[in-house]
Structure 1
Amino acid sequence: MQELALGGVKDFEFNIKDPNFLNEEALWEEAKRVYSKCKDCRMCVTYCPSFPALFDAVDRHEDDLQKLSKEELALPLELCFHCKQCYFKCPYTPPHEWRIDFPHLSLRYKVWKFKNKGAKLTDKLMLNTDLVGKLSVPFAPVVNKVNNIPTFRVVMEGLMGVDRRAKLPPINSETFVSWFKKNRKPVRGENGKVALFYTCLLNYNYLERGKALLKVFEKNDIYVEIPEQQCCGIPFFDIGDIASATEKARFNVQRLKPYVDAGFDIVVPVPTCALQIKYEYPLLLPDDPDVKAVSERVYDVHEYLFRLHQEKRFNRDFKVSMGSIAYHIPCHLKSLNVGYRALALMRLIPNTKVQLIERCSGHDGTFGVRKETFDMSIKVGSKLFEDMKNSGADLYVSDCPLSGNHIELMTGKRVYHPLEVLAMAYGED
């Protein structure tokens, strides 16, 4: 599987069909092989908790990897939260002969761990976004209220392991799917036909961003349909439940392929989900004849809109200046290698200044809310939070809703999606 990346074409080092994929001895040998390169390079020491844990262990044993215990070998892989910063900045990723792919090594370890040790029921429940969303939306006012009651959060921390300080996503009063069916407007679709992979986050948590997306697409005469779909499956990577992730992938590929055959493009408004479908699905479903056709038609939402701009078909009839914007580009968007498309689109708005801030938020899935990793997560994102506060911007913006949660928690200022900025700039209809 190849990806256009910084420094040329890169492959992934992740083969679930390898007979030694879940062999414990082979896993630790591969960890030692990767660590033998990382310990001498150390470029990634500031990226996340994984690399300090690795380097500290190596230094304790005077640079002798053979002396590391299984626990010391496992900890760096346990702490990886799949931001992929190390992957897209590492000079030794495939096709380099060293074939260093730390995030997928971490995933392989977590798959092995899940197969042999399982996971807590509360962890499994937390990752099942479809189930949690469906159960929560009918009771949204109550859920949103109790999620902000300190006493309840203390209880939740004890039962679920969700840190009492973490900012949780709000629950929509209705799903995006429900709202879309009632509010979509007829468009001719001369600028494209889109099968929208709307994501769990828009469907259950951030309805306003879904509304903004539809407004922007209608302004640009893009026809939208919403295929039946499930969670993209990436939350299950947190515990190594690759069977559930693969099940989600298979379901979504089967539902998306007919749209591809009918000439639709697949557009995704959350970078993590786009990354999952485009690059992880072919790894999870290596024998599926449809997965390549689907993955090749996946676009980040701003990548898709910017293509219209390049073709001089993007609607630039903006009515409202948006002032100064501090724009955070998430790690997974950088991993998609589509460039700074949201940044470029927002800069088309008259009298609007956009400052780019390239730092990891440290959130990434459950890592940013679990009690045992919350403080590490905030430490990773600390420079981002400071840069946002020091920007002096009128608006804080990020493509990633979970990164936005962290930024809001640590700055006290609301974070918008670029789609919301574009929708506001078009003005009232």
Structure 2
Amino acid sequence: MELAIGGTKDFEFNIKDPKFLDENALWEEAKRVYSKCKDCRMCVTYCPSFPALFDAVDKHDDDLSKLSKEELALPLELCFHCKQCYFKCPYTPPHEWKIDFPHLSLRYKVWKFKTKGAKLTDRFLVNTDLVGKLSVPFAPIVNTVNNIKPVRVILENFMGIDRRAKLPPINSQTLIDWYKKNRNPVKGENGKVVVFPTCLFNYNYLEKGIALLRVLEKNDLWVEIPEVQCCGIPFFDVGDIDASIAKAKHNVQVLKSYVDAGYDIIVPVPTCALQIKYEYPLLLPDDPEAKRVSEKVFDVHEYLWKLHEKGKFNKDFKVSMGSIAYHIPCHLKSLNVGYRAVALMRLIPNTKVKLIERCSGHDGTFGVKKQTFDMAYKVGSKLFEDIKSSEADIVVSDCPLASNQIELGTGKKPLHPIEVLYRAYGL
């Protein structure tokens, strides 16, 4: 399926194709894509998928027909959807070769889930709404237990969560509930926005959510936070596309009424913005509302920069932030909105920002599962080295999970760019 959205490249993913779940068609498509990748090899350093592919091809003297099903599957299994290969590949649609490795991997995982299922523990890990709702009422206990070594050994043995992985903390209340009690009055002369709170802000990083809401209020934006569900992208890890579609349907139904009322949709985590903006129209190809909602989705810093271009962004900064090492997440690159967080932080007086473009290797579950933890950490190792050598006062990343990986690899706890603006305002 070729779908052009918002000036980005097209995608090759059609869930309505009669052969979408046909095993033979899947392996033939994998061989077709591999035939181009094996000759190019530009992506060899991006993730574990491509070394696995090239090793298999080389072992069989460049003859794809000799690859076993296991060898064909492994590169797709190891893909954690960072999409680096997609946005740097010169052969993505509308090029005639139509190379879209991340969506090929997703198609494989959907086929695998439909035919073989997934472990109950893996299905639980990706159900962030369920985990969040069960955990928030017991946040102090959960946060304490998650840092007890014997408990982590048990989690590793029974849940497959590597004992070395840094797990997100749990909020004592959801961001949605906090805002109901702590809304500040604003006129909203600069616009009306819906904040898609994301599971990470709603259940795990309340302080980042508070910073987000206060910065939006500082810029005289009227804010609403609806009762949306997870964006659905965690289910991609196990190939449960039906769960992703169900989340997409619910969220489109909730968000379209706000779009009808003239609201824009602001998303503070690039992964979730990417899912709503580009994946929802693919998951709901027959729902025109999905496309309409997607067109109103903005990365938070993209939106604030648009205010700046209109002369409406509040530059009443009280505190300089010194030197900043800024990690741009892979999914923010895929959004194709530029370096807006960098541009905003550079508006703060006496503040310097150094951009670091490397993958953290975390993804959703790839960075915490025992079977993939070492690979994830290896992918992020160059990022860790760059951050350590930067000698910056502050480390910043838009992705809270990448931030966890950075903290694990460097000992430095990153801020979200919106927290930098929040502190610079003196809030």
Q: Same fold (TM over 0.5)?
A: yes
Q: 3-state SS of the aligned residue for 1:354?
A: strand
1:399 matched residue in structure 2: 398
Deviation by residue 1:27-83 (Cα, 9 ceiling, x = unmatched)? 000000000000000000000000000000000000000000000000000000000
1:163 matched residue in structure 2: 162
1:225 matched residue in structure 2: 224
AA aligned to 1:2 is A
Are 2:359 and 1:340 equivalent residues in the alignment? no
2:373 matched residue in structure 1: 374
Whole-angstrom distance in 2 between the partners of 1:421 and 1:82? 28
Deviation by residue 1:107-165 (Cα, 9 ceiling, x = unmatched)? 00000000000000000111110111011011111110110111100000011000000
Which consecutive unaligned segments of at least 5 residues does structure 1 have? none
Whole-angstrom distance in 2 between the partners of 1:380 and 1:84? 14
Superposition TM-score, scaled by structure 1 size: 0.98
Whole-angstrom distance in 2 between the partners of 1:10 and 1:134? 37
Moved over 4 A (4+): none
1:94 matched residue in structure 2: 93
AA aligned to 1:141 is P
Shift of residue 97, structure 1, vs aligned partner: 0.2
AA aligned to 2:264 is D
Whole-angstrom distance in 2 between the partners of 1:358 and 1:179? 34
Whole-angstrom distance in 1 between the partners of 2:334 and 2:293? 19
Q: 3-state SS of the aligned residue for 1:299?
A: strand
Are 2:412 and 1:413 equivalent residues in the alignment? yes
1:143 matched residue in structure 2: 142
AA aligned to 2:222 is Y
Are 2:200 and 1:204 equivalent residues in the alignment? no
Shift of residue 289, structure 1, vs aligned partner: 2.3
1:31 matched residue in structure 2: 30
1:249 matched residue in structure 2: 248
Whole-angstrom distance in 1 between the partners of 2:150 and 2:416? 31
2:64 matched residue in structure 1: 65
Whole-angstrom distance in 2 between the partners of 1:345 and 1:275? 21
Q: 3-state SS of the aligned residue for 2:338?
A: coil
Whole-angstrom distance in 2 between the partners of 1:346 and 1:62? 51
Shift of residue 3, structure 1, vs aligned partner: 3.6
Shift of residue 342, structure 1, vs aligned partner: 0.3
2:126 matched residue in structure 1: 127
1:174-323 alignment, distance < 5 Å? 174-323=173-322
Q: 3-state SS of the aligned residue for 2:70?
A: helix
Q: Compute the RMSD of aligned alpha carbons.
A: 0.7
Whole-angstrom distance in 2 between the partners of 1:86 and 1:142? 41
Shift of residue 186, structure 1, vs aligned partner: 1.1
Q: 3-state SS of the aligned residue for 1:294?
A: helix
Q: 3-state SS of the aligned residue for 2:135?
A: helix
Deviates more, 1:283-292 or 1:94-103: 283-292
Deviation by residue 1:231-280 (Cα, 9 ceiling, x = unmatched)? 00000000000000000000000000000000000000000000000000
1:2 matched residue in structure 2: 4
Whole-angstrom distance in 1 between the partners of 2:210 and 2:228? 19
Shift of residue 375, structure 1, vs aligned partner: 0.1
AA aligned to 1:103 is P
Whole-angstrom distance in 1 between the partners of 2:408 and 2:142? 19
Shift of residue 4, structure 1, vs aligned partner: 4.8
1:71-90 alignment, distance < 5 Å? 71-90=70-89
Whole-angstrom distance in 2 between the partners of 1:181 and 1:391? 40
AA aligned to 2:34 is Y
